[in-house]
Amino acid sequence: MTKFTDLGLDKSLLKALADEGYDTPTPIQAQAIPGVMSGRDLLGIAQTGTGKTAAFALPILHRLAADRKPAPRRGCRVLVLSPTRELATQIAESFKTYGKHMGVSVAVVFGGVKYGGQMRAMAPGVDVLVATPGRLIDHLGEKSITLQGVEMFVLDEADQMLDMGFILPIRRIVKHLPKDRQNLFFSATMPTEIGKLASELLNPNPHKVAVAPESTTVERVTQKVIFVETARKRALLCELFAEKNFKRVIVFTRTKRGADRVAKSLEAAGVEAAAIHGDKSQGQRERSLASFKAGEVRALVATDIAARGIDVDAVTHVVQYELPNVPESYVHRIGRTARAGANGSAVAFCADDERNLLRDIQKVTRQTIPSFDRRNDKGLHVMTQ
């Protein structure tokens, strides 16, 4: 069994991994890290949820640690392109976490927020820039960012970029990059257009890594989906907690604000609840987790990103208050129950505007989740068995 310590990574990275409690790489990490460390281009066929962020972040940070030099002004040494602001933020957080003992500088650039803060962050130059294509092109037009000094370029979620109409913007961005660079290209699928883009971007004979998604959901978890109007979700959640066997429950929401709102409504209904998400300080998160582990809090309301570090045995139920945008997250969420040989139950709420998300989940997991139409209002107790 390969361990991170077998891969020859810089000591500061091994320390950061140990701090996070990681010692064994996922298949894509074990396959990708050595090739990237040696400077080869990479073509990775992998979906979100396979551990691919660390598969590129760790070897990139290793290469930066081996060759310390200041980043170019208004520029970066590493450019990561990501289709959405959520994913961009998540990738930047990973770089900060793994690079914390080497003093790596990271900036994120995406649309929907003012330019000033992004320009100030980029002015002195950063080691790693994570950006969405549209806003990066705006900055290039304003000359507030230069890509002349990029040594390593990562294109993440290429097929999602295609769906969102970002292929032309990506080609425009690539024109600003130096010819001599290392390229890492990730896509979950390889439609013709993406294959073409990969061959344009990658040097001949790239290191190829393909990893199937964790599509088999946990066998020991009883899964159900309840169709319910958005406006009825809070009341329904409180009803579920009236069941005695809802002892230790993780409730998933899509947003940080949603997590706070759900935790408040549970508290108002007399259910001890705590929210954990990215806006909470490390101390607050640790306190919430400790009281959940100790059984003082019955409900832990979490976002996907915050839940990554949760490893609590004896979670009786997972409730997906909102379905995730990324189908693989469904698998990760229900995997929080049925740990250490125990059985568990997973209940997902599905409003009318979430039916397409449910379809995607059933496609990825290759199963039909038993459903129950709450709008008929019959026999709720069957849900909690």
Per-residue pLDDT of 178-197, as tens digits, reads 999 999 999 887 878 888 99
Which phi and psi (to 5°) does residue 178 adopt? -65, 150
350 in a domain, yes or no? Answer: yes
pLDDT in tens, 268-319: 999 999 998 878 877 788 788 888 988 899 999 998 766 655 667 778 899 9
Per-residue pLDDT for 377 more than 70? no
Q: Across residues 351-369, what is the average pLDDT?
A: 88
pLDDT of 327 reads 79
Tell me: the pLDDT tens digits for 117-176? 999 999 999 999 999 999 999 999 999 999 999 999 999 989 888 878 899 999 999 999
**Mean pLDDT within 47-67:** 89
The answer as to whether 108 is a domain residue is: yes
- 231 and 379: one domain? yes
Q: How far is CA 95 from the centre of its chain?
A: 13
* Interatomic CA distance for residues 260 and 18, integer angstroms: 30
Instruction: Give me the pLDDT at residue 363, please.
Output: 82
pLDDT at 212: 62
Please determine, for residue 374, whether its predicted confidence score (pLDDT) is greater than 70.
Answer: no
- Does residue 215 lie in a domain region? no
Q: Do 277 and 356 reside in the same domain of the chain? A: yes
Statement to judge: residues 311 and 357 lie in one domain: yes
3-state SS class at 85: helix
- The model carries a pTM of 0.61
Q: Are residues 294 and 267 in the same domain?
A: yes
Domain boundary among 178, 210, 242: 210
**CATH code (residue 362):** 3.40.50.300
The more confident residue out of 314 and 385 is: 314
E strands, 229-343, are: 249-252, 273-276, 299-302, 317-320
Judged against a pLDDT cut of 50, whether residue 378 lies above it is answered with no
**What is the spatial order of strands in the sheet that 249-252 belongs to?**
273-276, 299-302, 249-252, 317-320, 344-350, 221-227, 371-373
**Domain finish residue from 175, 210, 245:** 210
Q: Are residues 197 and 251 in the same domain?
A: no
- Residue 45 shares a structural domain with residue 179: yes
How many domains does the chain contain in total? 2
Q: Could you tell me if 233 and 376 lie in one domain?
A: yes
Q: 344 and 227, same structural domain?
A: yes
Residue 124 counted as domain residue: yes
Q: Is residue 30 part of a domain?
A: yes
Mean pLDDT of 38-48: 87
Q: Do 347 and 272 belong together in one domain?
A: yes
Residue 64's pLDDT band, with cuts at 50, 70 and 90, is: very high
What pLDDT score was predicted for residue 218?
57
**Are 169 and 275 part of one and the same domain?**
no
What is the pLDDT at residue 217?
Answer: 44
229 and 104 co-located in one domain:
no
258 lies in a domain? yes
Of these ranges, 14-28, 116-130, 294-308, 335-349, the one predicted with the greatest mean pLDDT is: 116-130
Angle (CA) 134 172 207, round 5°: 100
Confidence (pLDDT) at 149: 96
Q: Do 333 and 186 sit in the same domain of this protein? A: no
pLDDT reading at 324 higher than 80: yes
Among 210, 236, 256, which residue terminates a domain? 210
Tell me if 48 is assigned to some domain.
yes
Domain that holds residue 155: 4-210
Split at pLDDT 50, 70, 90, the class of 384 is very low
Confirm whether 216 is domain-assigned: no
